Amino acid sequence: MVNVLVAGATGMLGSRIAHHLLDEPGVAQGGKLGLLVRDGSLDDPAKKAGIDDLVAQGAVVVPGDLQDDGALAEATSGVAVVVSAVQGGDSVVTDGQVRLARAAERSRVRRFIPSDFAIDIFAADPGAPMFAARRRADEIIDTLDLEVLHVLTGGFLDKMVSPTGGIVDHGNQTVTCWGAGSEPSNMTTVEDTARLTARLALDDTAPAGVRTFAATEATPEQIAEEISRATGRTYTVKSRGTLDELREAISNEHDPTAAIGLWYQLVVATTPTFTALENGRYPDIRLTTLQEQVRQSFQ
């Protein structure tokens, strides 16, 4: 029996992690899954519906805010594993996560999974704000008396190749990118990332440190080729410019939100892919391949 606390369960990934944790024997057979939910977050009908669904499956809402040390102390009391899937700015990703981790340490929580879930954030361009915030949090969290697992699975495959977003323009039959289109990146679906995280959270044999998984390693050119095969229509790569031009666009962008989007495209194109993968750790978890995801999305 294992008691687990999930922060960020109202989000896209956090809700799926919580869903799969409820299926893990350590939770399903007498453990408890707590969902750290701040006041007001359930005013959003979609978020409330997601939490209500998890509660109907056996989860428990734990009121608390990442900025409230007293609430975090109560939320982490009696918990063995904390999974953070929070998203946001520095106040959440850095300060909030560190507060949560320190509360976990004081409550003698054994394992902590911070909200990394990306390409290799430790090798990404140091200027990328969304990854720099996570690294700042991780540098502190790694010094605490916790067993910390950093789960890295690459970009979200299903979001990248979606016909209604990502890098694919279905109407113009193009895959848009910066650079030559030959730059590889790792990708895994949201659902598979959630499955892997839930399993790692309760796997006593999983060592602390960086754990890397990826369903595929592909370039924009390969994505275009795969969509062409699946649809019978010719998709081509459309480059918005060189990587140096992308860096210049970032330096000239005054809108912080737009700049983050450009930064993300830069790190996807320039961050080295994983040198080693642990996909074989859980042979029963079959990761969705690029080919399968493209067929699901475009047929």
Tens-digit pLDDT profile for residues 2-19? 899 999 999 999 999 999
Q: What is the mean pLDDT of residues 17-35?
A: 94
Is residue 81 within 8 Å of residue 21, measured between CB atoms? Answer: no
| For range 107-128, the mean pLDDT | 96
Instruction: Look up residue 92 and give its amino acid.
Output: V
| 139 confidence band (pLDDT: 50, 70, 90) | very high
Q: Per residue in 167-197, pLDDT tens?
A: 999 889 999 999 999 999 999 999 999 999 9
Q: Is residue 255's pLDDT more than 80?
A: yes
C-alpha separations of 109 from 83, 106, 136, 198, 208 in Å: 11, 8, 21, 17, 14
In this predicted structure, the answer to whether residue 210 has a pLDDT above a threshold of 90 is yes
pLDDT (mean) for 65-69? 95
* pLDDT greater than 80 at residue 1: no
What's the pLDDT band for 281 if we cut at 50, 70, 90? very high
pLDDT band at 68 (very low <50, low <70, confident <90, very high): very high
Give Cβ neighbours of residue 144 (< 8 Å, ≥ 6 apart).
101, 102, 104, 105, 112
Q: Are 294 and 232 in contact (CB under 8 A)?
A: no
Type and span of the H or E element at 97: helix 97-106
The pLDDT of residue 166 is above 90:
no
Position 201 scores a pLDDT of: 97
**The predicted structure's pLDDT at residue 275:** 94
According to the model, what pLDDT value does residue 299 have? 72
pLDDT value at residue 110: 98
CB 151 within 8 A of CB 119: no
